[in-house]
Structure 1
Amino acid sequence: MAYLLEHGFTRGQAGRTLFLRKIGKQLLIAQIYIDDIVFGATLDSLSYGFANEMKYEFEMSMIGELNFILGIQVKQTNEGIFISQSKYAKDFVKKFGMEGKTHARTPMSTSIKIRTNPTGKNIDPTLYRNMIGSLLYITASRPDITFSVGVCARFHANPKESHLTAVKRILKYLSATVDYGIWYSKDSNLTLVGYSDADWVESANDRKSTSGCRFYIGGNLVVWMSKKQNSISLSTAEAEYIAK
């Protein structure tokens, strides 16, 4: 990292391991994870030059075009890039014995609210937390389960059988949609568009609302979020105002 900072790179605001080098109107981006570097540029010559620079300064090799990293699959075509975690999702579903089970059409019921259940049957909290941790990682490419996983994660301190049932429903949905992911089209424009919304008193425990948002560059989804609000909204208008 010190080498990059000494040779024209600056740290990106999105993370401490993201580095940017601007050369006129061109841009070179490098992301470091332990001893791996993923990089790309607006010109192929910048990418090849950076690869040669790294091989000259450090004992490392160029693997080639990125297609898999940290459990995330990357498929690059002339039309765009598709990222998914299908292999990770399949292994996860199989690990917790949900392979071949009846599929669910949605990750969470719209009629049953999950709440604390002091009198409910206790379950293994380690198992529950492992499942939640794995699901949270899958949300890196699956915004469709972000809200459901976030709700279930609220009960990791003292999970009950009813909470585990809700998590298993997410797994049943995931089992039917393991090949889902996010498509980034090369033909998209660079217009930044954001959407936000909120439910009202969604939480059955404290009556707090949940905010949700998505941001697109052109038609490409780049940021998504689901978070319970810090205060209790007294109306749907107030809940939506807080979300924005």
Structure 2
Amino acid sequence: MTDRFQMSMMGEMSFFLGLQVRQIDTGTFISQPKYTAELLKKFGMYTCAEEATPMSESVKLDKDEDGQAVDITAYRGIIGSLLYLTASRPDILFDVGVCRRFQANPKQSQYTADKRILKYLKGTQDVGLWYPKDSNFNLISYFDPDYAGCKIDRKSTSGTCQFLGDRLVS
């Protein structure tokens, strides 16, 4: 009788819940290029011009009470799709969070900001998270509060970032 337990392998994981997982000798890379391409097609942005950043520094989004209303279902569809993408794209998390605030009554100015994020994704479809094998697993977190700093409703906002080893994860 053997005291070893053997388990059959189905092979290396390559996709998990829409995340593409590439495992190589030096580490693991997690990204969502297929989902990003489908997202761009779904919202008619697959052939759009690329942007270098997800949001312009000069754009200051506000309630825009007098702005032109847009289709709320389409706006929420973009936001929901972008939120799912943030699982492997912390670079868009802040910008998506800002745009998410306007889901109740979206205006054209906010919709334009959503489209800017999609244009940024057009040129960065292969961006993802890299976890090298030699990295440690110490969790380090930073918090930056901004008390009553939101210009829209004077609510407090804050920013956080978490590192697993020396890699940003959130």
Q: Name the TM-score, length of structure 1 as normaliser.
A: 0.63
SS in 2 for 1:164: helix
Q: CA RMSD in A?
A: 2.0
User: What is aligned with 1:113?
Assistant: 60
Shift of 1:210: 2.6
User: Does 1:85 find its partner at 2:32?
Assistant: yes
| 1:122-161 alignment runs, 5 A limit | 122-161=69-108
Instruction: Name the structure 1 match of 2:130.
Output: 183
For residues 220-231 of structure 1, the aligned pairs below 5 Å read 220-222=167-169, 224=170
2:16 match: 69
Residues 113 and 204 of structure 1 are in contact (CA less than 8 Å); yes or no, is this contact kept in structure 2?
Answer: no
How far, CA to CA, are the matches of 2:167 and 2:77 in structure 1?
Answer: 31
Alpha-carbon distance in structure 2 between the residues aligned to 1:96 and 1:132: 11
Give the drift of 1:105: 1.2
Preserved CA contact (<8 Å) 1:142 1:182: yes
Identity, in percent, stands at 53
Q: Measure the CA separation in 2 of the matches of 1:171 and 1:88.
A: 12
CA deviation vs aligned residue, 1:30-89 (integer Å, no higher than 9, x gap): xxxxxxxxxxxxxxx88x54x6xxxxxxxxxx6421110221100001111000011100
1:197 aligns with 2:144: yes
Match of 1:165 in 2: 112
In structure 2, list runs of 5 or more residues that go unmatched: none
CA contact (8 A) 1:98 1:171 kept: yes
Q: Distance in 2 between matches of 1:146 and 1:176?
A: 17
Give a deviation string over 1:99-146, Cα, whole Å, max 9, x none. 222211111122221111222111110011111000000000000000
Q: How many residues end up aligned between the 2 structures?
A: 167
Q: 1: distance between equivalents of 2:22 and 2:152?
A: 42
Code of the aligned partner of 2:95:
S
Q: Is this contact kept in 2: 1:189–1:219, CA < 8 A?
A: yes
Higher relative contact order (CA 8 A, sep 6+): 2
Distance 1:98 1:200 in 2: 37
- Letter in structure 2 aligned against 1:91: E
Runs of 4+ in 1 over 3 A off after TM superposition: 198-202
Comparing both structures, which one devotes a greater share of its residues to strand?
1
* Greater Cα radius of gyration, structure 1 or 2: 1
User: Which secondary structure does the structure 1 equivalent of 2:129 belong to?
Assistant: strand
* 1:103 counterpart = 2:103: no
Structure 1 residue matching 2:168: 3-state secondary structure: strand
